[in-house]
Amino acid sequence: MRKFVAVMDSGIGGITTLTEIIGAVKGYDFVYFADKKFAPYGDKSDREIQLRVKRLAGDFFEMGASALVIACNTATNVCIDCLRKEFSNKIIVGTEPAIKLASACGGKIALLVTPLTARQKKFKSLVQKYAKNCHIYTMSDLAMLIENNVKNLERVHEYIDQRLNFLRHYDSVVLGCTHYVFLRPFLHVKFPYLRVFDGNHGVAKRLESLLQNNSFEQAKIATTIRFLSDERNFFK
């Protein structure tokens, strides 16, 4: 197998991250893992998530992954430090809300996150450092609503109409979960003046810089993507 990057999330949210990465990183294949068996991460303890993601990371690197992207804000907040300690010689890129970027634009900022992300020290530190006056909204059911209705996002549109009307009072919204990025088209229609931020571009640029030793000849080869949702298929 050619050099590849592993990208993982609890479900389909990280596909939004993968899409951004493919546009920036050339010369690598990709393995995308949707951890549906363990989803949602939001109702697990920190310890459970750490053990799960650490084991999956070990499997990815055993498969020969050149890098691992944690395409999940919750898992990044809970696991990134222990992963980098455990796999100190590996490239591991996490996902964080684009709070700094939104703050630089000024105005009132709404931040949409999962309840577990909102409780994490790393997340609180990020908010305190860059946007301590932003308003945080925890979305307890939105990620799974998107996960279960990705083929019929009109239902999610109804959710925006009913539950996210408060965004009309803001200049910017930060999508603090990769699942929420699927809302972008609906948000632009519903709130055309609203600036919408997510962390995917930052993830892609960071990964690109870490993999910059890639050769031009390799980059000309077509990219292949393998989608998995069962770790039993890792080595098949």
Q: What is the pLDDT along the chain (236 residues), one digit of tens a residue?
A: 578 999 999 999 999 999 999 999 988 999 999 998 888 888 889 999 999 999 999 999 999 999 999 999 999 999 999 999 999 999 999 999 999 999 999 999 999 999 999 999 999 999 999 988 899 999 988 999 999 998 888 888 888 888 999 999 999 999 999 999 999 999 999 999 999 999 999 999 999 999 985 444 455 566 788 888 776 666 55
Classified as helix, coil or strand, 121 is helix
Alpha-carbon distance 187 to 70, whole Å? 25
Verify that 128 and 162 share a domain, yes or no. Answer: yes
Which tokens belong to 99?
Answer: 């709070």
Verify that 43 and 122 share a domain, yes or no. Answer: no
For residue 14, the number of C-alpha atoms closer than 13 Å in the C-beta half-sphere is: 29
- Identify the CATH number of the domain in which residue 130 sits: 3.40.50.1860
Structural domain including 131 reads: 99-197
Instruction: Give pLDDT, residue 153.
Output: 83
Report the catalytic residues: 72, 177
CA triple 82-51-93, angle to 5 deg: 45
Verify that 119 and 153 share a domain, yes or no. Answer: yes
Instruction: Give pLDDT, residue 217.
Output: 45
Instruction: Give pLDDT, residue 157.
Output: 82
Verify that 63 and 117 share a domain, yes or no. Answer: no
Instruction: Say what the pTM is.
Output: 0.91
Q: Residue 230: how many CB atoms within 10 A of its CB?
A: 12
Verify that 157 and 172 share a domain, yes or no. Answer: yes
Classified as helix, coil or strand, 127 is helix
Verify that 8 and 88 share a domain, yes or no. Answer: yes
